[in-house]
């Protein structure tokens, strides 16, 4: 059973989606996350273990390597793609209640900003970390963020911005969310954002990279 979990974690880290995937070249023709996750569940490995010790472990490993500049954005994207194929086999267990999500992350790029690569990376790594992700997309109005929180009490909000000109909209959204839902935690990130700015606008957390965002989530979600 442990062999299945280690194999899934390694395959996620390497970004091996399935047997048909030519990436990575040294694993061409070999089974990927899709087949091994299915086989593990059929062999009786619990869905919770597959999620935590397989899929999450693999995403955590690639996230840590990305933080250390050992891999690059395409590597994380491939890992996330492979993780999603495994999650497809786990999803029915979420619906039945046999597997529990850690929490909910509402994420989006703030109003006026059309950039989504950073936001997408955080969303994918968070999902791979065991969180339900509500991705509101790009150019998201303050009102839409507030409405999403109203629909998902207890969720953490993640705001992304790449343009200095939209950082003001980030501040506006933080203040609006806090005014309506004071207990809601808001984290921010993006190229022009830093910890000082996060503190200045009243955000609860800041991360410069996807794994840091998940580490923050893990630190605040019971």
Q: The tokens 């207890």 sit on which residue?
A: 154
Nearest residue to 127 via CA among 64, 85, 177, 161: 85
pLDDT in tens, 36-93: 999 999 999 999 999 999 999 999 899 889 989 999 989 998 999 999 899 999 988 8
Which one of 3.40.50.2300, 1.10.1740.10, 3.30.465.10, 3.40.50.280 gives the CATH number of domain 104-220? 3.40.50.280
Tell me the CATH class for 2-96. Answer: mainly alpha
CA–CA dist 195, 204 (Å, integer): 10
pLDDT in tens, 166-214: 999 999 999 999 999 999 999 999 999 999 999 999 999 999 988 899 9
pTM: 0.84
The H-or-E segment that residue 176 falls in is helix 167-180
Q: The tokens 């397989």 sit on which residue?
A: 54
Angle 193-185-125 from CA coordinates, rounded to 5°: 65
CA–CA dist 40, 7 (Å, integer): 10
């Amino acid at each position: 059973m442990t062999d299945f979990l280690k194999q899934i974690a390694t395959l996620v880290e390497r970004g091996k989606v399935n047997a048909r995937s030519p990436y990575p070249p040294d694993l061409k023709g070999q089974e990927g996350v899709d087949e091994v996750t299915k086989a593990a569940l059929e062999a009786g490995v619990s869905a919770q273990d597959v999620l935590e010790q397989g899929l999450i472990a693999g995403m955590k490993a690639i996230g840590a390597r990305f933080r250390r500049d050992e891999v690059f954005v395409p590597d994380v994207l491939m890992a996330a793609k492979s993780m999603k194929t495994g999650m497809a086999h786990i999803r029915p267990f979420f619906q039945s209640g046999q597997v529990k999500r850690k929490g909910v992350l509402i994420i989006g790029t703030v109003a006026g900003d059309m950039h989504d690569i950073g936001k997408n990376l955080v969303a994918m790594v968070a999902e791979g970390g065991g969180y339900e992700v509500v991705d509101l997309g790009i150019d998201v109005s303050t009102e839409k963020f507030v409405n999403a929180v109203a629909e998902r009490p207890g969720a953490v909000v993640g705001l992304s911005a790449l343009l200095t000109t939209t950082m003001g909209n980030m501040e506006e959204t933080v203040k609006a969310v806090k005014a309506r839902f004071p207990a809601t935690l808001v984290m921010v990130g993006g190229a022009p954002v830093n910890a000082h700015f996060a503190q200045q606008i009243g955000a609860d957390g800041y991360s410069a990279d996807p794994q840091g965002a998940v580490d923050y989530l893990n630190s605040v979600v019971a």
